[in-house]
Structure 1
């Protein structure tokens, strides 16, 4: 198989990337891999992957010079330790991180699960408002039903460990 970059030499290096369930493969020769900054002697570290180990050296140097104004973490520190220093680092290195976060997950913004019991707290708050409306409308039967439902949810919330 021919190298996908130079299309002259025989491909001897196989790169495989899985992103959002889609597999992207690339076959290149050792020379093109070396020219594009891929270290064939050691596996990629997470920072190398995040900052594009295949990018030209001058592009990576621009990232290394960036510094977080809050904690002082540099791009070079991040690459070395695979850790950001503080929440402000995400803003300092946003240009580099966002494309890779989007590629590795559905987006660059966290929209994960709410803390345990958060959904129950929201439901209880909505039911309490409905209870107040029922009492104001003198619908005491509905109010009693809502009160019992709120009591059950609060008991369930205490079981989750998120009680107030």
Structure 2
């Protein structure tokens, strides 16, 4: 696992390191409650409010992204290095997009609008091949791939 550095001016606590490790181990963004249960499974004593506080700090420092999926009322959190996703609206499967198309567009945004781009996240919503096939065959897609 690559080493994720806590930004200067913030203490590298056992809890922050553990949260980052859980996010690194999981391919897709997670709800704070899921992070809480993973940490409990590992025997780490931490409260849900502490997880939220640390996620907020890590997000402000650019290590973590906060994403809201369509039709979900709770945010998901993931490492900022894994920030571009395809999301199935039927089964909620999430696929990481490795090659980011944004980099080409970024220069145009800077030139046209004069923005200093600090970061980005891309979420593309659609229907995965498995769900398309189930819909085609008139079956109800499952949500087992969350």
TM-score range, shorter chain: under 0.3
TM-score, scaled to structure 2: 0.27
Q: Which has the higher contact order (CA 8 A, sep 6+)?
A: 2
Compare CA radii of gyration and give the structure with the larger one. 1
**Bigger proportion of residues as helix:** 1
TM-score, scaled to structure 1: 0.25
